[in-house]
Amino acid sequence: MPETGFVQAFKWDEQGAEPSYNSGGLIRGGSLNIQSPDNRRLGIGGQALWSAGGIIPAVAPQVDVTEDTLPLIAHAIRASYPAGALTAVMCHVGTAAHDWLLENAVIRQLTLAGAPEQPLSATFDIVALACGEAGAGAVEPEVGGALEYYMGAVTIGESPYDCRSFEVVINNNVNPRFNLDTKVADSARFPGSLSLGAEEISLRFNLGSHLTYDVLADTPARNIAAVISYTDGVNTLTLTFTDLAIVGGKQMPFVGGSDDVLWDLALQGAPGSLDIGP
Protein backbone atom coordinates (compact mmCIF):
# COMPACT_ATOMS: atom_id res chain seq x y z
CA MET A 1 0.00 0.00 0.00
CA PRO A 2 1.47 3.42 -0.92
CA GLU A 3 2.18 5.94 1.81
CA THR A 4 0.45 9.33 1.85
CA GLY A 5 1.44 12.86 2.76
CA PHE A 6 0.12 12.22 6.26
CA VAL A 7 3.31 10.29 7.07
CA GLN A 8 5.85 12.48 5.26
CA ALA A 9 8.39 14.49 7.25
CA PHE A 10 10.95 17.27 6.80
CA LYS A 11 13.05 18.69 9.63
CA TRP A 12 16.39 20.48 9.83
CA ASP A 13 19.11 21.69 12.16
CA GLU A 14 22.53 23.29 11.84
CA GLN A 15 25.28 20.84 10.92
CA GLY A 16 27.25 19.68 13.94
CA ALA A 17 24.70 20.90 16.46
CA GLU A 18 23.26 18.62 19.09
CA PRO A 19 20.18 17.59 17.13
CA SER A 20 17.16 19.63 18.15
CA TYR A 21 15.30 19.60 14.87
CA ASN A 22 12.91 22.28 13.62
CA SER A 23 9.97 21.58 11.34
CA GLY A 24 10.98 24.27 8.83
CA GLY A 25 7.40 25.48 8.43
CA LEU A 26 4.19 24.09 6.98
CA ILE A 27 5.39 22.01 4.02
CA ARG A 28 2.99 22.42 1.09
CA GLY A 29 5.03 21.00 -1.79
CA GLY A 30 8.47 20.41 -3.20
CA SER A 31 10.50 17.22 -3.45
CA LEU A 32 13.51 15.18 -2.39
CA ASN A 33 15.96 14.88 -5.30
CA ILE A 34 18.85 12.44 -5.03
CA GLN A 35 20.30 12.71 -8.52
CA SER A 36 22.23 9.61 -9.58
CA PRO A 37 22.66 9.57 -13.36
CA ASP A 38 24.19 6.71 -15.33
CA ASN A 39 26.97 7.21 -17.85
CA ARG A 40 26.92 5.40 -21.19
CA ARG A 41 30.07 5.40 -23.30
CA LEU A 42 29.99 4.11 -26.87
CA GLY A 43 32.96 2.64 -28.68
CA ILE A 44 33.75 0.94 -31.97
CA GLY A 45 32.11 -2.30 -32.89
CA GLY A 46 28.85 -1.27 -31.29
CA GLN A 47 30.26 -1.71 -27.80
CA ALA A 48 28.74 0.21 -24.90
CA LEU A 49 29.86 0.57 -21.30
CA TRP A 50 27.57 1.64 -18.50
CA SER A 51 28.73 3.11 -15.19
CA ALA A 52 27.21 5.05 -12.32
CA GLY A 53 27.61 8.84 -12.24
CA GLY A 54 28.10 11.25 -9.38
CA ILE A 55 25.42 11.67 -6.72
CA ILE A 56 24.06 15.13 -5.88
CA PRO A 57 21.65 14.97 -2.90
CA ALA A 58 19.17 17.84 -2.77
CA VAL A 59 15.82 18.72 -1.24
CA ALA A 60 13.46 21.51 -2.30
CA PRO A 61 10.67 22.09 0.26
CA GLN A 62 7.94 24.65 -0.46
CA VAL A 63 6.65 26.01 2.85
CA ASP A 64 4.31 28.48 4.44
CA VAL A 65 6.72 30.42 6.62
CA THR A 66 6.41 30.02 10.41
CA GLU A 67 8.63 30.67 13.42
CA ASP A 68 10.58 27.49 12.63
CA THR A 69 11.35 28.69 9.09
CA LEU A 70 12.94 32.00 10.09
CA PRO A 71 16.40 30.67 11.12
CA LEU A 72 16.60 28.62 7.92
CA ILE A 73 15.78 31.71 5.82
CA ALA A 74 18.62 33.58 7.55
CA HIS A 75 21.05 30.85 6.43
CA ALA A 76 20.39 31.75 2.78
CA ILE A 77 22.95 34.56 2.90
CA ARG A 78 26.64 34.34 3.73
CA ALA A 79 28.26 35.40 6.98
CA SER A 80 29.92 38.17 4.94
CA TYR A 81 30.31 38.89 1.25
CA PRO A 82 32.17 37.78 -0.76
CA ALA A 83 34.39 35.42 1.25
CA GLY A 84 31.99 34.47 4.04
CA ALA A 85 30.62 30.94 4.20
CA LEU A 86 27.05 29.72 4.12
CA THR A 87 25.93 27.99 7.31
CA ALA A 88 25.84 24.22 6.78
CA VAL A 89 22.67 22.38 7.79
CA MET A 90 21.45 18.80 7.96
CA CYS A 91 17.98 17.69 6.91
CA HIS A 92 15.87 14.63 7.69
CA VAL A 93 13.51 13.97 4.78
CA GLY A 94 11.21 11.03 4.13
CA THR A 95 8.24 9.09 5.41
CA ALA A 96 7.34 7.01 8.43
CA ALA A 97 8.90 4.01 6.70
CA HIS A 98 11.80 5.54 4.75
CA ASP A 99 13.90 8.49 5.94
CA TRP A 100 16.99 10.12 4.46
CA LEU A 101 19.60 12.24 6.22
CA LEU A 102 21.27 14.95 4.09
CA GLU A 103 24.45 16.30 5.67
CA ASN A 104 26.75 19.29 5.16
CA ALA A 105 24.07 20.96 3.08
CA VAL A 106 23.71 24.61 2.11
CA ILE A 107 20.96 26.70 0.55
CA ARG A 108 21.64 26.95 -3.17
CA GLN A 109 18.62 29.17 -3.83
CA LEU A 110 15.76 30.68 -1.83
CA THR A 111 12.56 32.17 -3.25
CA LEU A 112 10.22 34.19 -1.02
CA ALA A 113 6.78 35.27 -2.19
CA GLY A 114 3.86 37.20 -0.75
CA ALA A 115 0.41 38.36 -1.87
CA PRO A 116 -2.93 39.37 -0.34
CA GLU A 117 -4.95 36.48 1.09
CA GLN A 118 -1.78 34.38 1.20
CA PRO A 119 0.82 33.73 3.92
CA LEU A 120 4.47 34.42 3.26
CA SER A 121 5.86 31.41 1.37
CA ALA A 122 9.39 30.13 0.86
CA THR A 123 10.84 27.66 -1.62
CA PHE A 124 14.26 26.31 -0.72
CA ASP A 125 16.77 24.55 -2.96
CA ILE A 126 19.15 22.81 -0.55
CA VAL A 127 22.11 20.79 -1.85
CA ALA A 128 24.22 18.44 0.28
CA LEU A 129 27.64 16.81 0.22
CA ALA A 130 26.32 13.43 1.38
CA CYS A 131 23.19 11.52 2.26
CA GLY A 132 22.14 8.14 3.57
CA GLU A 133 19.11 6.20 4.67
CA ALA A 134 18.22 6.89 8.29
CA GLY A 135 15.38 4.49 9.11
CA ALA A 136 11.88 5.67 9.93
CA GLY A 137 11.02 9.35 9.78
CA ALA A 138 8.86 11.38 12.13
CA VAL A 139 7.18 14.75 11.78
CA GLU A 140 8.54 17.52 14.01
CA PRO A 141 5.52 19.36 15.46
CA GLU A 142 4.99 22.88 14.16
CA VAL A 143 4.96 25.32 17.08
CA GLY A 144 4.01 28.61 15.44
CA GLY A 145 1.48 30.12 13.10
CA ALA A 146 1.93 31.34 9.54
CA LEU A 147 3.12 34.87 8.75
CA GLU A 148 -0.06 36.20 7.15
CA TYR A 149 -0.28 38.94 4.53
CA TYR A 150 -2.03 41.39 6.84
CA MET A 151 1.00 41.32 9.13
CA GLY A 152 3.37 42.17 6.27
CA ALA A 153 4.60 45.49 4.91
CA VAL A 154 6.49 46.47 1.75
CA THR A 155 8.17 49.81 1.07
CA ILE A 156 10.32 50.92 -1.86
CA GLY A 157 12.47 53.95 -1.25
CA GLU A 158 10.70 54.33 2.12
CA SER A 159 7.32 54.72 0.37
CA PRO A 160 4.35 52.35 -0.06
CA TYR A 161 3.21 51.64 -3.62
CA ASP A 162 0.06 49.54 -3.08
CA CYS A 163 2.06 46.32 -3.45
CA ARG A 164 -0.16 43.45 -4.63
CA SER A 165 2.52 40.77 -4.78
CA PHE A 166 6.27 40.28 -4.65
CA GLU A 167 8.90 37.65 -5.28
CA VAL A 168 12.46 37.66 -3.96
CA VAL A 169 15.09 35.25 -5.31
CA ILE A 170 18.47 34.73 -3.61
CA ASN A 171 20.77 32.61 -5.76
CA ASN A 172 24.09 31.60 -4.23
CA ASN A 173 25.25 29.78 -7.37
CA VAL A 174 26.42 26.76 -5.41
CA ASN A 175 28.19 24.19 -7.58
CA PRO A 176 28.99 20.62 -6.48
CA ARG A 177 32.60 19.79 -7.33
CA PHE A 178 34.02 16.31 -7.82
CA ASN A 179 37.70 15.42 -7.51
CA LEU A 180 40.26 12.62 -7.73
CA ASP A 181 41.14 12.54 -4.02
CA THR A 182 41.20 9.26 -2.12
CA LYS A 183 37.62 8.14 -1.54
CA VAL A 184 35.93 6.67 1.52
CA ALA A 185 33.99 3.45 1.03
CA ASP A 186 30.30 3.95 0.21
CA SER A 187 30.79 7.68 -0.46
CA ALA A 188 33.01 7.71 -3.56
CA ARG A 189 30.30 9.19 -5.79
CA PHE A 190 29.43 12.16 -3.60
CA PRO A 191 30.87 15.65 -4.34
CA GLY A 192 34.17 16.54 -2.75
CA SER A 193 33.08 20.11 -2.07
CA LEU A 194 30.42 22.74 -2.69
CA SER A 195 31.77 25.84 -4.46
CA LEU A 196 30.14 29.25 -3.90
CA GLY A 197 29.73 31.50 -6.91
CA ALA A 198 28.52 35.09 -7.10
CA GLU A 199 25.47 35.99 -5.02
CA GLU A 200 22.53 37.12 -7.17
CA ILE A 201 19.58 39.00 -5.66
CA SER A 202 16.47 39.78 -7.69
CA LEU A 203 13.07 41.19 -6.79
CA ARG A 204 9.80 41.52 -8.66
CA PHE A 205 6.89 43.63 -7.47
CA ASN A 206 3.34 44.00 -8.75
CA LEU A 207 2.21 47.51 -7.79
CA GLY A 208 -1.05 49.41 -7.81
CA SER A 209 0.73 52.78 -7.78
CA HIS A 210 3.04 54.12 -10.45
CA LEU A 211 6.68 54.12 -9.38
CA THR A 212 8.27 57.56 -9.52
CA TYR A 213 11.78 56.47 -10.51
CA ASP A 214 12.77 57.57 -14.03
CA VAL A 215 13.75 54.60 -16.20
CA LEU A 216 14.54 56.91 -19.16
CA ALA A 217 17.32 58.84 -17.42
CA ASP A 218 20.84 58.68 -18.84
CA THR A 219 21.98 57.36 -15.47
CA PRO A 220 19.03 55.51 -13.90
CA ALA A 221 18.98 55.15 -10.13
CA ARG A 222 21.10 52.30 -8.79
CA ASN A 223 20.78 53.02 -5.09
CA ILE A 224 17.10 52.19 -4.54
CA ALA A 225 16.24 50.75 -1.13
CA ALA A 226 13.40 48.39 -0.27
CA VAL A 227 12.17 46.76 2.92
CA ILE A 228 9.92 43.70 3.26
CA SER A 229 8.80 42.90 6.78
CA TYR A 230 6.50 40.25 8.27
CA THR A 231 5.57 39.38 11.84
CA ASP A 232 3.37 36.90 13.66
CA GLY A 233 3.07 39.26 16.62
CA VAL A 234 6.08 37.73 18.38
CA ASN A 235 8.66 36.90 15.71
CA THR A 236 9.66 39.24 12.91
CA LEU A 237 11.37 38.74 9.56
CA THR A 238 12.83 41.83 7.91
CA LEU A 239 14.53 41.88 4.51
CA THR A 240 16.46 45.11 3.97
CA PHE A 241 17.71 45.75 0.42
CA THR A 242 20.11 48.49 -0.64
CA ASP A 243 21.75 49.45 -3.94
CA LEU A 244 18.90 48.13 -6.07
CA ALA A 245 18.65 48.94 -9.78
CA ILE A 246 15.61 48.76 -12.04
CA VAL A 247 16.00 46.14 -14.77
CA GLY A 248 13.74 45.67 -17.77
CA GLY A 249 12.09 49.09 -17.60
CA LYS A 250 8.41 49.29 -16.63
CA GLN A 251 5.58 47.03 -17.69
CA MET A 252 1.86 47.86 -17.62
CA PRO A 253 -0.57 45.26 -18.97
CA PHE A 254 -3.86 46.39 -20.52
CA VAL A 255 -6.91 45.21 -18.57
CA GLY A 256 -10.59 45.21 -19.34
CA GLY A 257 -13.59 46.47 -17.46
CA SER A 258 -13.08 47.51 -13.85
CA ASP A 259 -9.89 45.51 -13.24
CA ASP A 260 -7.04 47.39 -11.58
CA VAL A 261 -4.13 48.69 -13.64
CA LEU A 262 -1.04 47.15 -12.05
CA TRP A 263 2.61 47.91 -12.74
CA ASP A 264 5.32 45.25 -12.88
CA LEU A 265 8.68 46.28 -11.47
CA ALA A 266 11.87 44.20 -11.57
CA LEU A 267 14.90 45.11 -9.46
CA GLN A 268 18.40 43.65 -9.24
CA GLY A 269 20.50 43.88 -6.11
CA ALA A 270 24.27 44.14 -5.85
CA PRO A 271 25.96 41.12 -4.25
CA GLY A 272 26.04 41.48 -0.49
CA SER A 273 23.33 44.17 -0.49
CA LEU A 274 20.68 42.15 1.43
CA ASP A 275 20.38 41.96 5.19
CA ILE A 276 18.04 39.44 6.84
CA GLY A 277 17.15 40.14 10.43
CA PRO A 278 14.38 40.40 12.98
> Domain segments of the chain: what residues?
5-35+52-138+146-181+189-277
User: Rg (Cα) of the chain, in Å, rounded?
Assistant: 22
Report pLDDT for 137.
Answer: 66
**pLDDT at site 102:** 95
Task: Check residue 259 and report its DSSP letter.
Answer: P
Beta strands in 172-273 (DSSP E): 174-177, 193-196, 200-207, 224-231, 236-251, 263-269
Region of 88 on the Ramachandran plot (φ > 0 left; ψ -120 to 50 alpha; else beta)? beta
CA dist 58 and 103 (Å) reads: 10
Dihedral of alpha carbons 172, 178, 181, 182, sign: positive
- For the chain, residues with pLDDT lower than 70 are 18-19, 136-137
Convert the pLDDT of each residue in 67-124 to its tens digit: 999 999 999 999 988 888 999 999 999 888 888 999 999 999 999 999 999 999 999 9
Specify the pLDDT at position 171.
97
pLDDT at 23: 85
The gap from C-alpha 63 to its chain's centroid, in whole angstroms, comes to 10
What is the number of alpha carbons within 13 Å of residue 108 lying toward its C-beta? Answer: 19
Nearest-10 Cα torsion for 22, 71, 25, 100? -50
In contact, 105 and 90? CB cutoff 8 Å: yes
Nearby residues of 18 by Cβ (< 8 Å), 6 or more positions away: none
Pick the closest to residue 248 from 269, 263, 266, 264 (CA basis).
266
Tell me the CB-side half-sphere exposure of residue 20, using CA atoms within 13 A: 3
Q: How much is the pLDDT for 24? A: 86
